[in-house]
C-alpha cells in the first residue's frame, strides 16, 4: 500500500490546491499527528456544547484530525463546526471506514449498545473485520488467502460510481479474460447499476452494494481486486477485502484515499491536478482505467447486452410509433444529473435544435429521451415544437418505466444527441452513432469508437471545469459560456450526414 502525506486537506476526491505544488507538507497545510473520534450514533448535538471537550479540541488543534460519527440528521451540524474535520452518519458505510481508520482518542458520551460496541471495538488494537447489520456489530471471520490450482482465479471489481463509469468499466473485462481466461469475475456496484450488467457473458455475478452483500464479500477470498472508484466507502471496502493482489484505490488509517499499485498513480493524480487533467492528458477513460489496473489496453468496447426479447420490444416500439425499418430516428437526451446541471441544453436550445434538424434532414423522427425528472421537460419541448410548426415528428418516449426499459428506448434510435451523461455511455455501449457536446467535463476522456462527433471549445479557458455552478456566464444570452457556444447548426448537419449514409 502506498500512503499519501498526512495533509489536513488531503482527505477526498480533490484534496487541496497546495498539493499540486508540493510532494509533502507545505507551509500552509497543517499536518496532524493524531486522530480523534467523536462518537454518538444517537442524537448528540449537545456534545458540541461541552466546554471541556471544546477546550480539549482547541488545545490539540490544528495537529489533530477530528472525525465525528453521529446521528444522520446531525451530520451537517458537526460538519460545519470549525474544530471538526470530517463528519459521517452512523451507518453501514461509515462502519466499513471505521474498520480502516485508527484513532488515538475516542469521545463517546452515549450509553446505547451500538456506541458501547463500537468503543470496545475501536479503542483496542486492530482485531478482525466487522460490519453493522440491523444496528448491531457482527464479527467477520478471517480467511487466510488460499492459492487455487491452475488458472482458477477469483476476481472482484468494486465500482460504486455513476452509471456511465460502470459501463466504461465493462471495457476492461475482455482484458481481464485475456490475462486470466479461467477467472471467475464478481462485481460490487449500486443496486440500480446492476441493470446494465445483466446478461454480461464475461461476468459471473453482480452484487448490489448493501450491508448483507458486503458482509458476504468480506467473508470470501479473492486473487485479484480491482477497485475503480476514488470514493471513501468503496476504498474502505477495498481495504477490508481478503485479497493477495489489490489494484486501484484504497484508504489509509487517516481516512485518506490512496492507491494500491504504482500503475494507478497517474490516474490518481489527475483527480488532484486540474491542469494535468484538463490541459495535458489525452488518454481516454478506458485507457486510463486499463493502465491503472495493470491490464493490457486494446481499445476494447463497452459491453451492454440486450436479450432477444428486448430486441423484439425495440422493433415493436419503433413500429408502434410509426418509424419504419428504413426510416431514421435520432434520440435527444434532454436531461442530466442534478449535480452538474449544465450538462444539458436549455429548453429553448432543444426546440431550436429540433427545428434545425427538421429543416436539414427531411423525414427524420426525433425521440425525446430521459428519466422521470425529464417528464415535464420533454412534454414542454414536444408541445412547443408542435405549436411552432417544427417540420419533423417529435415523439416523447416513456420516462417512468425504469432504467432497463429506458435503455431500450435509446436502442430504438439510429443516432443520439446528448451531453456527457449516462445516456452518452449507454449510446456508446449500444453502438449508436452519437453526437455529443462537452463543457463541464473532459472530452478527451470519452471514446466514441469512431462512431460519432464531439463538440467542444478548446479556446475556452474555463472548460472543462467539473463545476456544478458556472462562474463564467455569457451576459448576452445569460448562459454559461460553454453552453452558449454549442453549435446547433453543426449538430443538425451531423444528423443529416449520418441519416443520408444510413438510409442510402
Q: What is the pLDDT of residue 127?
A: 55
State the pLDDT confidence band at 13, using cuts at 50, 70 and 90: very low
Q: What is the pLDDT of residue 147?
A: 56
pLDDT > 70: what percent of the chain? 88
Q: At what angle do helices 403-411 and 308-320 cross, to 10 degrees?
A: 60
| Residue 210 pLDDT > 80 | yes
Q: What is the pLDDT of residue 151?
A: 53
Give the model confidence (pLDDT) of 214-259 as tens digits.
888 988 899 999 999 998 889 999 999 999 999 999 988 878 888 9
Task: Name the range with the highest mean pLDDT among 102-106, 258-262, 268-272, 417-421.
Answer: 417-421
Strand, coil or helix: what is 445? helix
| Residue 466 pLDDT > 80 | yes
Q: What is the mean pLDDT of the chain?
A: 88
**What is the CATH architecture assignment of 154-292?**
3-Layer(aba) Sandwich (3.40)
- CATH number among 3.60.20.10, 3.30.450.40, 3.40.50.2000, 3.40.50.880, domain 32-140: 3.40.50.2000
Give the model confidence (pLDDT) of 138-152 as tens digits.
776 655 555 555 556
Give the model confidence (pLDDT) of 41-99 as tens digits.
877 667 878 888 888 888 877 678 889 999 999 999 998 888 888 899 988 888 888 88
Find all residues with CB under 8 Å of 84, minimum gap 6, and list them.
Answer: 38, 66, 67, 68, 78
The conformation of residue 311, written as its DSSP 8-state character, comes to: H
Mean pLDDT of 448-462: 94
The topology (CATH level 3) of 308-503 is Rossmann fold (3.40.50)
Instruction: Give the C-alpha separation, 151 to 189, whole Å.
Output: 25
State the pLDDT confidence band at 17, using cuts at 50, 70 and 90: very low
Q: Choose the weakest-confidence range: 210-219, 372-381, 401-410, 415-424.
A: 210-219
Q: What is the pLDDT of residue 25?
A: 37
State the pLDDT confidence band at 27, using cuts at 50, 70 and 90: very low
Q: Residues of CATH 3.40.50.2000 domain(s) within the chain?
A: 32-140, 154-292, 308-503
Q: What is the pLDDT of residue 118?
A: 83
Q: What is the pLDDT of residue 141?
A: 62
* β-pair partners for 479: 474
The percent helix, strand, coil of the chain (3-state, each to 5) is 40, 20, 40
Q: Are 32 and 65 in contact (CB under 8 A)?
A: yes
Cell reading at 24: 509533502
Task: Name the range with the highest mean pLDDT among 151-155, 430-434, 474-478.
Answer: 430-434
How far is the CA of 5 from the CAs of 2, 18, 181, 257, 273, in angstroms? 10, 12, 38, 11, 16
Amino acid at each position: 500500500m502506498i500512503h499519501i502525506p498526512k495533509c489536513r486537506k488531503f482527505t477526498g476526491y480533490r484534496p487541496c490546491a497546495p498539493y499540486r505544488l508540493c510532494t509533502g507538507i507545505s507551509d500552509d497545510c497543517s499536518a496532524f499527528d493524531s486522530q480523534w473520534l467523536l462518537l454518538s450514533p444517537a442524537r448528540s448535538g449537545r456534545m458540541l456544547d461541552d466546554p471541556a471537550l471544546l477546550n480539549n479540541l482547541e488545545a490539540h488543534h490544528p495537529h489533530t484530525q477530528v472525525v465525528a460519527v453521529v446521528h444522520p440528521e446531525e451530520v451537517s451540524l458537526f460538519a460545519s463546526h470549525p474544530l471538526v474535520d470530517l463528519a459521517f452518519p452512523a451507518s453501514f458505510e461509515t462502519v466499513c471506514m471505521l474498520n480502516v481508520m485508527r484513532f488515538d482518542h475516542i469521545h463517546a458520551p452515549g450509553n446505547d449498545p451500538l456506541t458501547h460496541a463500537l468503543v470496545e471495538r475501536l479503542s483496542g488494537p486492530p482485531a478482525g473485520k466487522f460490519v453493522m447489520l440491523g444496528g448491531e456489530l457482527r464479527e467477520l471471520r478471517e480467511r487466510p488467502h488460499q492459492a487455487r490450482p491452475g488458472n482458477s482465479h477469483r476476481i472482484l471489481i468494486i465500482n460504486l460510481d455513476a452509471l456511465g463509469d460502470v459501463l466504461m468499466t465493462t471495457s476492461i473485462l475482455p482484458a481481464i479474460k485475456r490475462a486470466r481466461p479461467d477467472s471467475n469475475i464478481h462485481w460490487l456496484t449500486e443496486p440500480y447499476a446492476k441493470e446494465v450488467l445483466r446478461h454480461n457473458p464475461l461476468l459471473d455475478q453482480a452484487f448490489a452494494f448493501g450491508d448483507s452483500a458486503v458482509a458476504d464479500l468480506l467473508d470470501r477470498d479473492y486473487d485479484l481486486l480491482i477497485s475503480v472508484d476514488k470514493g471513501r466507502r468503496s476504498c474502505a471496502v477495498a481495504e477490508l477485502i481478503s485479497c493477495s493482489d489489490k489494484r486501484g484505490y484504497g484508504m489509509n488509517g487517516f481516512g485518506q484515499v490512496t492507491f494500491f499499485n504504482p500503475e494507478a498513480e497517474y490516474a490518481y493524480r489527475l483527480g488532484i491536478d486540474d491542469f494535468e487533467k484538463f490541459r495535458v492528458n489525452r488518454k481516454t477513460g478506458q485507457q486510463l482505467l486499463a493502465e491503472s489496473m495493470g491490464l493490457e489496453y486494446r481499445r476494447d468496447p463497452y459491453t451492454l447486452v440486450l436479450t432477444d426479447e428486448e430486441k423484439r420490444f425495440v422493433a415493436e416500439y419503433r413500429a408502434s410509433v410509426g418509424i419504419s425499418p428504413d426510416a431514421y430516428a435520432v434520440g435527444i437526451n434532454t436531461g442530466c444529473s442534478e449535480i452538474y446541471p449544465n450538462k444539458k441544453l436549455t429548453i429553448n436550445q432543444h426546440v431550436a435544435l429540433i427545428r434545425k434538424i427538421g429543416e436539414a434532414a427531411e423525414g427524420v423522427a426525433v425521440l425525446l429521451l430521459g428519466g422521470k425528472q425529464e417528464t415535464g421537460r420533454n412534454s414542454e419541448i414536444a408541445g412547443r415544437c408542435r405549436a411552432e410548426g417544427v417540420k419533423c415528428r417529435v415523439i416523447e418516449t416513456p420516462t417512468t418505466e425504469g432504467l432497463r426499459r429506458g435503455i431500450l428506448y435509446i436502442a430504438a434510435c439510429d443516432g443520439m444527441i446528448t451531453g456527457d451523461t449516462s445516456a452518452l455511455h449507454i449510446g456508446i455501449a449500444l453502438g449508436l452513432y452519437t453526437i455529443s457536446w462537452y463543457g463541464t467535463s473532459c472530452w478527451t476522456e470519452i471514446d466514441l469508437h469512431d462512431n460519432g462527433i464531439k463538440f467542444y471549445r478548446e479556446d475556452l479557458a474555463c472548460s472543462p471545469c467539473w463545476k456544478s455552478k458556472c462562474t463564467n456566464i455569457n451576459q448576452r444570452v445569460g448562459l454559461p459560456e460553454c453552453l452558449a457556444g454549442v453549435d446547433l447548426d453543426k449538430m443538425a448537419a451531423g444528423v443529416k450526414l449520418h441519416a443520408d449514409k444510413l438510409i442510402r
